[in-house]
Structure 1
Amino acid sequence: MLSCNIMNNRVLILFLSLSVTILSVSGFRMKLPSWNDVYGYEAIWNSPIKNEEKVNNHNTKENFSNTSNKIFKKQKLTNSKNHGFAENLMLIDGVAKNEGTVLINRHGKWGTICDDNWTLKEANVVCRMLGYPHALQATTRDYFFSNSEYDYLMDDVYCKGSESHLNACVYWTEHDCLKREEAGVICLNPEPIKWQYNVRNPLIEKLSPTEVKKMRKQIFWSEVEKLNTNGLHKIKVRVPHGGNRQVLTSSICIDNFRGAEANVACRSANYPFAASFSSVPLKNMNLTKLYPLVRIGHCFGNESRLEDCITFTDPNGVPCSNKSLGIVVNCTTVLADLEPDVQALEASAYSSMIPLFQAQCALEENCFPPSVYNLINRNRHLALMHMRRLLRFSSIIHNVGTDVFRPHEPPERWIWHACHM
């Protein structure tokens, strides 16, 4: 046990097995663990706090010149005459009014919330502020694809879940978050829903619900035509136009077309699997329209035809990132299928806490999230004692498919990494 005196504030520290336990701290605060980060957490020492600080529109700009001396405090949301709490919070980019990325107004500036430690407890507080009973889901990683240019105004929000306002929660006003880490919510809407189209519609930001509903009703027929004897097929669609007096031919937009959609296309051509798919210029496919007429929203993979998937069709063309390209699929009768041994994984999995200096190889291989490297840049010596939680396990992979598994790269081009060390 070691007794020391820091800035006239006595701190008792017990060292045991390379871990640090704070027995008593007078005048100091620590950042709470961010359990949203599965790798572990960090504790940050802060300067003494004499009185609880409040923030309102009349405060001067907060000055945090030294990141290691951040003050962890309860921030107060603005509640002035011009802005009520309903106006200080709103949701954007959701399909319905009860869901979306959370925007908060602080000091007259709108910004987003970083998703560190973002759980149902924090989401419940947001939903109650907006007049909903509770939250159905706390979304992370820019779930609604806002990709906004707003600054993060809150990070590591920590609520008990019973608060009526976010100002009763604890959080940081500085952050270490990157883009696409916006927090969002899906709140319970007690109002009945009359109808609902594809709730993860890729066109929601570009078209109105009326236009999307019309595109969902438009029929089309898909044809998967063989191009050669190697299993290569082109996908062609036929769309009626002008009261069915004319039939237009084109291809499918390359956006949102993935493995499940390729498997469905090959199944419609009497092949069990799709080995691969790629894009080709529409001008080489002998079509009447050189722009896509159909866009796939989502296939589950068990459909018989592409028409059975969630699709959007327009004889005048659908929104597409590249309107000059169509799709060809490589269909096959045999395919490798890798399956992990779940029992072996569960039997071998365990977690452990280690200091960063014992993970030097993993550090050099950039295996850790950016927050760790930011911590090292601020103070390398203290950072090496920073504890991280690692999940370790062994894996056994079985090939349950009908073909030999062949990696994309030959063994001589495989790269060894030390992320598991």
Structure 2
Amino acid sequence: MRLKSSSWFPDPSLLIFLVKFCFHGVLSRPEDGEVRLIGGSTEYEGNVQIYHDHKWGSVCDDGWDIRDATVVCRQLGYTRSDFGTTNSRFGLGGRQIWLSNVQCWGYERNLTTCRSDGWGNSDCDTNEAAGVICKRPTNGRTSSVNTRTLTVPSQDSPNNRRIRFDRAYNNRTVSSILLHDRPRNATTGASTTSTTTTTVRPTPMLINDDIANFVLHNEAYLENDKRRHMQIRLAGGRDQKEGRVEVKFGSHDEWGVICGNGWSLKESDVICRQLGLGQASRAIQNVIFPGPTRAISLSGVTCTGQESHLMECFHKQVGVAECHGQRESIAGVMCNTQLPDLVVDMEFLVSSVYLQEQPMFYLTCAMEENCLSSTAYQLDPKAFSFPWTTRRLLRFTLATKNIGKADFLSFIPKHMWQWHACHKHYHSMEVFAHFDILDDRGTKVAEGHKASFCLEDNACDEPWQKKYNCANFGDQGISVGCFDIYKHDVDCQWIDLTDVKPGTYTFKVTVNPDTKVAEMRYDNNVVLCKLHYSTTTAYFDECKLAGRDTGIVRAG
């Protein structure tokens, strides 16, 4: 029996649908290098994802700064970035991490044109996703010379409320945004379920500009009018010094947990300090601590790390809080009283600084490690004069001493250390130090780089003995009482001043800049020196230790 010929052909409308569906899949496929933001409460904020090899992947937050964030925002069609976020602030990143150690100058139009470790080369975890907060298209702020006012929605009232920020020199005094002052008598808990309860009142507090910018543009501030007791405890840990952080507002409320998105050592330090348990040795952003399922009561917590009470920090939501990732992202801490503490030796800096005119012939290896300013990469390497074209380098010795109570060790497992041809050894920390030159407005005028290091004991005070050595793939670290010394004649131990005009500037060096390794304190990780720079000489004076969040640092 023969079938009618018409039975061999489907309905024409079905054919049209199938063709449209197939072509839509092809036409809507993202281009390689395309970026998007996920996890944010608005379209202009979120963790950064980039498309490559037919898959979306995260970007590692190692060395992530405002210049990298600016490139992403511009690529998405925004004018600029207000803030670059780290520590998976908008939810845990995916297992696929495409880019790490991204180094943009800020003018690039695509993230793929910035230098990085290459596609898929990363030692980051899911709690190290980079994000951005782009300049919003419209806002409710009005500004004047000495004050800023931000209109924000109140959780206590359907009406909007206005919060005033008063400027005080290089910091901002936040007079009405903060709920409570520092407690005078905090009760220290004695078990994993111990609590500390404090009555608190509004008070002014100085915060740094980076945090203030985040507050202004991300609406992540402490609620203004929570005149209730707040209790904090650690639960689910193996002992009283670890566990997930649980909070309780008022005597009749239930215990809740804190969203782990963006949770870092800074916030963890505040918790450990408030409970009298020392400092944070680790910040937890997952559910490794067992316990009953509890509602998320707090999200968007942001601390400078110097607060003595959690209520001095900012947050985004309290009560019923949203948390991208929900049950996979719960804030926890591990506290310890025995931690390392790094400090930069200023005498080494002052006594070792000098200028050097170095031909490109000797800088090939340094170029591969991103140690020169952007104009060096615009030169034609095939030009006859290229090997003899010189760069002006500000060389100096960086000596970092561990004055803490425990050895300073890299957080990267040994099998993931990277070989660096310039230094001819493995580096256990890809971002150990930042070098920057700032003008009198705090603007970066030299494209300082993010230096990676091999950590070893080069010299020790009595009675300490050397323990760590970079040679032959040895163990790396900085022992208590010992120095790690990178001498001025080592490749990349410089800042490229070729494009900087002679004048007086501020030289800034920061060690452990991303606070990836826990320390007893972080306010001694930054040194600021006055740099006197002429066409023939350069020298430092007036060097001083400065808090890591001191002053304004804007992208140049």
* TM-score between the two structures when normalised by the length of structure 1: 0.48
| Max Rg structure | 1
* TM-score between the two structures when normalised by the length of structure 2: 0.38
